């Protein structure tokens, strides 16, 4: 049996990069999909490819900061699929790089709004409406090495990922008896647009593809995953396999 057969996975930032690769890997493993992205054309392409792999798909262009939109899509997903079994909080922005002393209020607020607050609200809604009542689920929050050890010049992005790490640990404890697993994932160097923004001089061919990274996300989402809830895992820089 496929690893995600009869399970529904919601993936944010599914139009490109790791989010798209996760969505397609989940489709190959039998998952039904709820896909969101702010980039409508890229999202439509990902949805078409997932359907060609045999997946049932609900895909909507959506800024995850839009709480009414999130709630409406969640209601649609529950009506169509019965619930959400896996949530991958992948959507995020890099924000400004440079010393924190130079970060203005608007850039600070936007980076934390997308990377931390919107992740909190989406997770809260999915937990309350689907995972907690059904006593099952898996939440995977994309983090970063700079969210585990602060690094000069990474600005509000690093701070937002520290928040994601802490939030995930709190939820893991709060839901320890509810059959819901929580993880943060440091994908390590992966060939994405955000990576290219952060490291403009890096040869993209020198780092793994999003498709390789998606292997670890499949492992985490599978029911047999042995990583304890609350784990801060990372992916092997070459193979994309899990390390914790």
Starting at the edge strand found earlier in the chain, the sheet holding 242-243 runs 57-61, 32-37, 8-12, 86-89, 137-142, 180-186, 231-235, 242-243
- 3 state DSSP class of 98: strand
Question: Which residues, at least 6 apart from 147, have a Cβ–Cβ distance to it below 8 Å?
Answer: 158, 160, 161, 162, 164, 165, 184, 186
**Is residue 26 flagged as an active site residue?**
no
CA-CA distances (angstroms) from residue 67 to 55, 90, 133, 177? 26, 17, 21, 28
243 with 235: CB under 8 angstroms? yes
Question: Which residues, at least 6 apart from 116, have a Cβ–Cβ distance to it below 8 Å?
Answer: 160, 163, 164, 167
> Which candidate in 26, 157, 183, 199 is catalytic?
157
CA distance 139 to 168: 9
Q: Which residues are catalytic?
A: 157
């Amino acid at each position: 049996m496929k690893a995600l057969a009869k399970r529904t996975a919601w993936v944010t930032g599914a139009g490109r990069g790791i989010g798209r690769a996760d969505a397609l890997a989940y489709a190959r493993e039998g998952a039904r999909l709820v896909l969101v992205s702010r980039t409508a054309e890229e999202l439509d392409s990902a949805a078409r490819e997932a359907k060609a792999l045999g997946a049932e798909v609900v895909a909507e262009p959506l800024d995850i900061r839009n709480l009414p939109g999130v709630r409406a899509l969640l209601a649609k997903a529950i009506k169509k699929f019965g619930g959400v079994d896996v949530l991958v909080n992948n959507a995020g922005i890099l924000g400004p790089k440079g010393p924190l002393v130079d970060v203005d209020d608007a850039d600070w607020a936007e980076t934390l709004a997308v990377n931390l607050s919107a992740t909190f609200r989406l997770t809260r809604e999915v937990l309350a409406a689907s995972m907690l009542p059904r006593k099952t689920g898996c939440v995977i929050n994309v983090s970063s090495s700079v969210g585990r050890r602060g690094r000069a010049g990474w600005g509000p992005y690093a701070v937002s990922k520290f928040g994601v790490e802490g939030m995930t640990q709190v939820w893991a404890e709060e839901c320890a008896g509810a059959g819901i697993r929580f993880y943060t994932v440091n994908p390590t160097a992966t060939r994405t647009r955000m990576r290219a923004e952060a490291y403009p001089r890096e040869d993209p061919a020198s780092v793994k593809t999003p498709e390789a990274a998606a292997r670890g996300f499949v492992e985490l989402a599978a029911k047999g995953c042995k990583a304890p809830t609350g784990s801060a895992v990372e992916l092997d820089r070459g193979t994309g396999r899990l390390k914790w």
